Amino acid sequence: MTEHIYQKTIAKIIEADGIGLHSGKPIHMTLKPADPNTGIVFFRVDVTDKDNCVPAKWDHVVDTRMNTCLGNASAVVISTVEHFMGALAGLGVTNLAVELSGPELPLMDGSARDFVTLLEEAGVVKQSEPVKALKILKAVEFSDGKGATTRLDPADSGLSFKFEIDFPQTKIIGHQQIDFDLNEAAFKQLIAPARTFGFAAEVEQLRAMGLAQGASLENAIAIQGDSVLNPGGLRDANEFVEHKVLDAIGDLYEAGMPIIGRFTGVKSGHFHNNQLLRAVFADPANYEIVTL
């Protein structure tokens, strides 16, 4: 008899408050258990005159500038979902209702660590239905023609990541690469604490575009020249590439289920991750849905 891997939700309702990275506004978040086969679903409780439900799915991604933004047919949006989605993927949470008081998730400390703590405080529990997964059957690649590529290759089990970044303009990053097999223990130790990062010189430009209004040294790594401005420095020498893996884990979880495959990313970001999923789903020969 085959032992299945079962779907998971949380044991109880739990709430959190924070600031939106791009809006800079306070956000109240409530996490609620959800039935098997629900998936991850966001609700904008501040929207009462139209459909306020936004599924966390690849085909609902409407913007990928500096974050992953989901939207529905009523033009209701949820921004900066990637770190939270990464935490859900890392802990194997498959069903959850997320209520938000505004258009963005709270950034917390700029990583997934606080979300992991919140989910564990609520209690992650098994449900009655087995997990379905997206098994990659043949290589699928997306390239932007500017040196950034993403790729998914077949694998026997699980999801692994090979990621490479290159920032020659600063020695604090330079060239970093990582090989990472996604499992809960390794995710919590290595990937979840890795914070988002940016260049101090670009902050004013981003704010003029209406982005990064809530960015601070409390929730992002700020780089100036070859230095990190945060008083505590880095949490890990490879924190930059580890954060890029966190983003990719969160973005790929918008497949609507775990993926069995091998991901490779070179200088890529949210746009490339979403385009890769779109390329996968464009051809049914690329994948099959299997029960874990």
- Are 253 and 103 in contact, with CB atoms under 8 Å apart? no
Instruction: Provide the edge-to-edge strand list for the sheet that holds 61-63.
Output: 61-63, 69-71, 77-78
Tokens 């979880």 locate to 253
The residues pairing with 29 across neighbouring beta strands, listed in sequence order, are 16, 100
Angle at the Cα of 177 from the Cα atoms of 165 and 148, rounded to 5 degrees: 35
Choose the catalytic residue: 22, 60, 83, 270: 270
Whole-angstrom distance, CA of residue 175 vs CA of residue 76 = 38
- Are 165 and 264 in contact, with CB atoms under 8 Å apart? no
Whole-angstrom distance, CA of residue 40 vs CA of residue 1 = 30
- 83 part of the active site: no
- Are 22 and 210 in contact, with CB atoms under 8 Å apart? yes
Strand, coil or helix: 273: helix
Give the catalytic positions in this structure.
Answer: 270
